[in-house]
Amino acid sequence: MFSVLFVCTGNTCRSPMAEWISKKYMEEFGLTGQVEVTSAGIAAWAGSALSAGASRALARRQIEERGVHAARRFNADMLDQADLVLAMTASQRHSLAREYPQYQHKIHTLSAYALGVEEDIADPYGGGDDFSYEAAARQIDEACRGLLRKLRAKLGNA
């Protein structure tokens, strides 16, 4: 099983949206049972719930959490287990690569790896409205589709 870990700051908005959006498209891309996606936050408060804005952005995409999201704090063991680590921003990628140089080869930003464009996924947290969450969800949705296309080709399912 190929393992992808999405990473953001708090694991309550962007990285769980990437996890759930990817899970939604897994069957469409023929990757069910071949790719596992999870998420974590560099500065997460373990156990924190998915933000309400992120939950509404997912619901607009007919995505319901399967179970209750509980934020996970990123740790080095996750790097050992993941085949690919996708950060939401270049700053997060640099931080992880600097702290764990032996894993630099598997740490990328979501947009750069999936779409070939170095573009941060803007943090909607604290935006105060659904507009910022929807904008982030649109970016994430596009990048996740690109990611799954790339993984389908990589894993021989093109």
Give the burial class of 131: count Cβ atoms within 10 A of its Cβ; 0-12 exposed, 13-18 middle, 19 or more buried: exposed
CA-to-CA dists, residue 99 to 8, 76, 153, angstroms: 15, 10, 31
The single residue of 83, 120, 123, 130 carrying the catalytic annotation is 123
Does the active-site annotation cover 141?
Answer: no
d(CA 88, CA 140): 9
Does the active-site annotation cover 8?
Answer: yes
* DSSP assignment of 85-98: EEESSHHHHHHHHH
Give the burial class of 153: count Cβ atoms within 10 A of its Cβ; 0-12 exposed, 13-18 middle, 19 or more buried: exposed
Look at the block and give the residue holding tokens 């759930």: 20
The single residue of 8, 93, 141, 144 carrying the catalytic annotation is 8
Q: Which residue(s) pair with 39 in the sheet?
A: 6
The single residue of 14, 93, 141, 144 carrying the catalytic annotation is 14
Does the active-site annotation cover 60?
Answer: no
> Which strands, in side-by-side order, build the sheet including 107-109?
35-41, 2-8, 84-87, 107-109
Active site residue ranges: 8, 14, 123
